[in-house]
A and B are shown apart, each in its own frame.
Chain A
Amino acid sequence: KQEVTQIPAALSVPEGENLVLNCSFTDSAIYNLQWFRQDPGKGLTSLLLIQSSQREQTSGRLNASLDKSSGRSTLYIAASQPGDSATYLCAVGRETSYDKVIFGPGTSLSVIP
């Protein structure tokens, strides 16, 4: 059974700092891995999608890496801004059906001006 964990559960950093969010999964037979952002009480916004055959994806100040063999993914945020404050969730798509993703519990990020 796939289990997804995220460390840390919460993080508070000063504006401008570079930071790394971690995601771990127990079953390496994945189809893809997605990172989402969620603002309080809102839906999820897709940030980056990494296919199982890829090692990383980049979008602006965001970079996500994937190491299937070790069951890990990291989301790197460069030069953090107060607007980055949100909960970040990773989600693993199973090999048999990519829509049935398994989510981690999320990391709550607060960027202090």
Chain B
Amino acid sequence: DAGVTQSPTHLIKTRGQHVTLRCSPISGHKSVSWYQQVLGQGPQFIFQYYEKEERGRGNFPDRFSARQFPNYSSELNVNALLLGDSALYLCASSPPGGGGKLFFGSGTQLSVL
């Protein structure tokens, strides 16, 4: 079975632009969460979606938004990019009844110039 897939793997944007990152969970996983990891730090929680509903939001500005589609894939959108948005963006999915075990994708490396 395929793992969590994220696209694109790398992205270069300039300040003020908009970006969309995509995530496909493992088949059968209905929960998707997004994390931002700045170099040298642990990942920080951004959003969690379950059955297409937002279940949680971390301490990020309204420029960050996300959604989950009927096939449980998800998009993370960031508007008005700032230099400080440069980071590795990670998506994780978890199975129902899995005890909270998270399965991560390889991430999207976003560079804002």
Residues of A that sit less than 8 Å from B by CB: 4, 31-32, 34, 36, 41-46, 49, 51, 89, 91, 93, 97-106
Contact = CB atoms under 8 A, between A and B. Distances in A.
Contacts, number: 75
Nearest to A9: B40
Main secondary structure of the interface of A (DSSP, over half): strand
A99 B33 contact: yes
A43 B107 CA distance: 6
Interface of B: 4, 6, 31, 33, 35, 40-45, 48, 50, 55-56, 58, 88, 90, 92, 94, 99-107, 109
B38 to A, nearest CB: 11
26 contacts: A31-B100, A32-B100, A42-B106, A42-B107, A43-B4, A43-B6, A43-B90, A43-B104, A43-B106, A45-B104, A46-B102, A46-B103, A51-B100, A97-B48, A97-B55, A98-B99, A98-B100, A99-B100, A99-B102, A101-B45, A101-B100, A103-B35, A103-B44, A105-B40, A105-B42, A106-B42
Contacts of B48: 97, 99-100
A44 B100 contact: no
B102 A41 contact: no
